[in-house]
Amino acid sequence: MALGGLAFGLYAERRPFGDDVFAHPLIVFFALVGAGLLLLRFVKHRPVPDILPERMLLWGCAIGVVTFLAGNWIGVRLVVLP
């Protein structure tokens, strides 16, 4: 989650998916996280909370948001991306 949030944050200012509300990089990031959790659920044939505790899922989401914001700040302020 941390690496994904940082990577999506670095390119967030450029809006690589378009200017729509649902194309915002943070929304796309969490849609991919949700798809990954669904894939995990179907592969293991068990509910996700049985595999990963809810607290771990919440901490992962919080870390993803924080690193997204850090990556966005780095992308806007410090690094000129091609």
Instruction: Evaluate if residue 80 carries a pLDDT over 70.
Output: no
* Contact (Cβ atoms closer than 8 angstroms) between residue 32 and residue 4: yes
| 81 phi, psi to nearest 5 deg | -85, 145
Instruction: Evaluate if residue 82 carries a pLDDT over 70.
Output: no
pLDDT of residue 50: 92
Q: What is the pLDDT of residues 30-75, one digit of tens each?
A: 999 999 999 999 999 999 999 999 999 999 999 999 999 999 998 8
Give the Cα separation of 46 and 39 in Å (integer): 11
pTM: 0.85
* Contact (Cβ atoms closer than 8 angstroms) between residue 11 and residue 25: yes
pLDDT of residue 19: 86
Classified as helix, coil or strand, 82 is coil
Domain ranges for the chain: 2-78
pLDDT of residue 5: 94
